[in-house]
Chain A
Amino acid sequence: MSVPAAASCDTSPAMRVATLLRDPRLWRGQGAPVAPPSNRPTGCAALDEVLPAGGWPEAALVEILFSADGLGELSLLLPVLAALSSAEKPVVVVAPPYRAYAPAWQRAGVRLSHLHLVEANGKDALWAMEQALRAGCCGAVLGWPMQADDNALRRLQVAAETGQTLGFAFRPMSAQNNPSPAPLRLTLRDGPELRVLKCRGALPPARAIPFRPIQRH
């Protein structure tokens, strides 16, 4: 980098670089913090490869947008839920849309003695989710804040960061154009077709991720 001669009269080049770096107009490429490598693999190698942390983030809200039930939105999480519940961390499921069929969860490796379900509706469900995320004792918290606005999601994200807990928010596909504070957003469409909509620390890949729901028939 060549310094213009007129400007080098009274300050050293190092000082000038320092002033230049303080200029708010300057854009620097490595601005975003690099996510620490995760030790929670998703169970899907193709997804691990794409995510900046190499797995689920340690303490953040993950938003999963899905267009219909039964596309494998839950089997995406079952490996991490199995790992967390085997590590004797409580997994809290707040206001599930259907009845969780325990034998299938158990078959996927989730330990039922560490799976807790919460019955709540509307505001109470959001409150329960936030409390569970903030408490810091849970392994993962799952919720279906379908109607939640940006503000509510931000609260959940802050709670997940405070409590160092992994949170999953299932949301309808119609929310994909709204901004969201969640550092990781995935979409699951008919097909099933899995895409990363947003991931903090890396550019989301343009192509879909090959994803086959793990279900033995």
Chain B
Amino acid sequence: MLWACILLPQLALDAVCRKRNGEQPMCMDAQVSREAGCRERPLALVTGPAQRRVLLDANAAARAAGLVPGQPLLAAQALLQNFLAIDHDPREDERLRRFLAAWAYRYSSMVSLEGDDAILLEVEGSLGLFGPWPRLERMLREDLREMGFQHRIAMAPTPLGACLLAAAQDGLALTGSTHLHHALGRIPVTLARLSDDHTTALAAMGLRRLRQLFALPRAGLARRFGPSLLEHLDRMRGDHPDPRELYRPPDIFEERIELNYEVSYHPALLFPIRRLVNDLATYLSGRDGGVQRFVIALEHEQHSGVDIETTRTPTDGQLPDTEIVVGLLSAERDPARLFDLARSRLERSSIPAPVRALRLVARELPPFVPAGRDLFDERPAQAMPWAALRERLRARLGEDALYQLAGHPDPRPEQALRRSPQLSKEPAPLLLPPRPTWLLPRPMPLRDHSLQILAGPERIESGWWDGGDVRRDYYVVQTSLGQRAWAFRPAGVSDGAWMLHGWFA
């Protein structure tokens, strides 16, 4: 097995930059502005208790001014007057790691999260599909750059080895165990992901590189440090099995974007919605699924909860979320099409109050079956498949505007039709005397001086059980204009007034 390790050295900072740049709809090139946006303004992440705030990370501009991770906030403020201090949210990191794991799942079925800054992929099985390693590596890097994550990638025969190599040198790829052994030997002990106690103890013993550690007698090491250190070293080199808990994609997609300002117009919401929908499509293609129905919830001002999991109830003075439901008749996963549908649904709904945050929740994720097309399809090149057209019509005209009809075995004509959003198979034909192609919504008087009876009568007498009792004699008649009509008279009355009920159009 070959493991690729993607190390995310500044995940928390990237999370903040991503969020801040997601709200700048003006930028033409997201990548350029993302980098520029985070580079221009000094920015630092702050963590720790209120009495002792320390910097967790700082961006390039802040580091240039002398800010370093671990520095107290007061010291940082003394060094640099005007920088943006943002509270670090560990839940956001966790969410992003899950998101990245879902993304990595596209490239490998064995994905594992290591520590809090690395993702491991088993790539040997993926190389057959994604080409030789340099090509796969390029794809990974392109995706990560597009999503806005700083990263280091390395490949090695063991997961732990890949992790260490990625920390030591970006872009290293080793396949043989002797090479790995050699490369690991040059890695400093401080980067070896040992426990803190072991690291300090080894440093105090004057051991700088792993090579020196490998050279020590195993029995002595085991006596001094216990079996865990040896096992760690063996897993690193592949001498000891290293089973890992593999990532399993969740069955629900849920994403949230908090806006930095209030938005009360549709156009300003489109950009964050596009990002949410793109994330959804990324997730869907990772699990090779589609989405049948998703909800975009607009959270309004003064919203208390930040926790995504809890169900929120509106307390006094707060508006409930505005929910925009996007339902589809068949599974879909094309981001452009999903965005198109979400946009037309959004434009039809009104925004009652300024929006502070957006949430996209998708629970119905059925398998996606791409529509089959003929190889020698003679349709025009720009043709849109029926499923897409259907969704477009439903998005603008309403969920129920598109329907199909099936006959229903009830003798009363009014009850003999059933509307359904989608017929899965051809309904069985009903054996009936002639019926008109058009049925009037309700019967109306037919006044004509020279009606000619073509067929009939056919008595329909039914419905005593549900209050819709009818007793009628139906005739096919021809009017003086030559129209063919389906009309009835009360049952048993030969000279009653004609009531028109349909046209043989």
Contacts and interface: CB of A to CB of B under 8 A. Distances in A.
A42 interface: no
B390 interface: yes
A90 B402 CA distance: 13
B384 interface: yes
Contacts of B389: 131-132, 135, 137-138
Nearest to A105: B437
B435 A107 contact: yes
B429 interface: yes
B384 A118 contact: no
A116 B455 contact: no
Contacts of A99: 417, 438-441
Contacts of A216: 434
Interface residues of A, number: 52
Nearest to B382: A136
A100 interface: yes
A172 B84 CA distance: 69
B386 interface: yes
A137 B384 contact: yes
Interface string B484-505: 1100000000000000001111
A115 B397 contact: no
Interface stretch (B70-78, B296-304, B405-413): B405-413
A71 B429 CA distance: 25
Interface in B373-399: 379-380, 382-386, 388-390, 392-393, 396-398
B430 A71 contact: no
Interface stretch (A18-26, A72-80, A195-203): A72-80
Max count, chain A CB within 10 A of own CB: residue among B393, B400, B435, B455: B393
Interface in B434-461: 434-441, 454-455
Interface string A20-62: 0000000000000000000000000000000000000000000
A158 interface: no
Given A104-B435, A217-B455, A136 B504 contact: no
Contacts of A217: 434, 454-455, 476
Nearest to A117: B403
Interface stretch (B123-131, B188-196, B258-266, B419-427): B419-427
A120 B417 contact: no
Given A138-B386, A190-B481, A112 B440 contact: no
A70 B503 contact: yes
B404 A113 contact: yes
Contacts of B436: 70, 101, 104
Contacts of B388: 135
Contacts of A150: none
A118 B436 CA distance: 20
B432 interface: yes
A215 B503 CA distance: 11
B505 A117 contact: no
A191 B480 CA distance: 9
B139 to A, nearest CB: 33
Contacts of A70: 436, 438, 479, 483-485, 503-505
Contacts of A132: 389, 393
A119 interface: yes
A99 B380 CA distance: 33
A112 B405 contact: yes
> Which size class do B's interface residues fall under?
35 or more
Given A135-B383, A137-B379, A112 B434 contact: no
B432 to A, nearest CB: 5
Nearest to A119: B401
Given A135-B389, A137-B389, A215 B434 contact: yes
A100 B441 CA distance: 10
Contact of B397 (A90, A120, A192): A120
B144 to A, nearest CB: 37
Given A116-B390, A135-B384, A215-B484, A72 B406 contact: no
A170 to B, nearest CB: 10
Contacts of A68: 481, 483
B405 A115 contact: yes
A147 to B, nearest CB: 19
A90 B386 contact: yes
Nearest to B405: A102
Given A74-B438, A113-B404, A115-B404, A190 B397 contact: no
A116 to B, nearest CB: 6
Given A111-B426, A118-B397, A120-B397, A136 B380 contact: yes
B201 interface: no
Interface string B269-311: 0000000000000000000000000000000000000000000
B80 interface: no
Nearest to B455: A217
A68 B505 CA distance: 10
A18 B440 CA distance: 63
A78 B58 CA distance: 72
A71 B479 CA distance: 10
B416 interface: yes
A20 B207 CA distance: 100
A192 B425 CA distance: 36
B482 A103 contact: no
B421 to A, nearest CB: 10
B116 to A, nearest CB: 49
Contact of A101 (B398, B402, B435): B435
Contacts of A149: none
12 contacts: A70-B436, A70-B503, A71-B482, A99-B438, A100-B437, A101-B416, A101-B439, A103-B430, A104-B437, A107-B429, A113-B425, A136-B384
Interface of B: 379-380, 382-386, 388-390, 392-393, 396-398, 400-407, 413, 416-417, 423-427, 429-430, 432, 434-441, 454-455, 476, 479, 481-485, 502-505
Closest 8 CB pairs of A and B: A136-B383, A70-B483, A70-B503, A98-B438, A74-B505, A217-B455, A102-B405, A190-B481
Given A103-B432, A106-B430, A112-B407, 11 more contacts: A68-B483, A100-B437, A102-B417, A104-B437, A106-B407, A112-B426, A113-B404, A128-B396, A137-B385, A215-B434, A217-B455
